[in-house]
A = this chain, B = another copy of it.
Amino acid sequence: MTDGVVERSRPRDRILETARDMFHKHGIKGVGVDAITEAAGTNKMTLYRHFESKDDLIVECLRANAAKAGAMWETFEAEHPGDKLAQLHAWVSKAAAMLNTDGRGCDMANAAAELTEPDHPARRVIKELKEAQRERLVGLCRDAGIGQAELLADTLSLLFEGARVSVQTVGTEGPSTQFVRMAEGLIVSFRGAAAG
């Protein structure tokens, strides 16, 4: 009933995919390894043959999420080759779509909220992956010819991040409905400013 990844793929892949889905939906501490392996159509021993611990599995899930998010950027480039400004608009559009289709926030942000131990292995990879994402957005803004690229990128990412948690707390009818208008207005405003 709950399981959906019982296709015949390698157990490790099924576990990773199932864990990603369940962590996303129910939170990390809200899902036990037994539940993951059962939903993945396998068993606990197999999980512990492929992952050192639950923490290790968490880290791998976060990396897999980042990889999937990274693939999204390639579609922007593929759909608007060379047109960095169009890719930036595509980012806004994609972000807005995520707000409406997914009531849960960013997996990394949610994980950071749950895993409070300062030296938890997930914390350093969260920071690493978030910084990489920021670099990417800054680069896109810069290549789109925007002067204060860092400031725009940071503003956009803060808005998006805030919108995701807003969806999680008050739902899709809250402040997040204004996200596109805010983001597009900012881009216009930054493009209007001195581009050097």
* Interface of A toward B, CB cutoff 8 Å: 25-27, 29-30, 104-106, 108-110, 112-116, 126-127, 130-131, 134, 150-151, 153-155, 157-163, 165-166, 168-171, 174-176, 178-179, 181-182, 189
Contact = CB atoms under 8 A, between A and B. Distances in A.
B162 A175 contact: no
B109 A165 contact: yes
Given A29-B30, A30-B29, A130 B174 contact: yes
13 contacts: A30-B114, A105-B109, A108-B169, A130-B166, A131-B170, A134-B175, A151-B182, A153-B175, A155-B159, A158-B158, A158-B162, A158-B163, A158-B178
Contacts of A171: 127
B154 A175 contact: yes
- Copies of the chain in the assembly: 2
A116 B158 contact: no
A171 to B, nearest CB: 7
A23 to B, nearest CB: 10
A84 to B, nearest CB: 20
Contacts of A154: 174-175, 178, 182
Given A30-B116, A114-B29, A131 B165 contact: no
A153 B177 CA distance: 13
Q: Looking at A106, A131, A161, which has the most chain B CB atoms within 10 Å of its CB?
A: A161
Contact of A176 (B158, B159, B175): B158
Contacts of A158: 158-159, 162-163, 166, 175-176, 178-179, 182
A116 B161 contact: no
A175 B189 contact: no
B162 A27 contact: no
Nearest to A118: B103
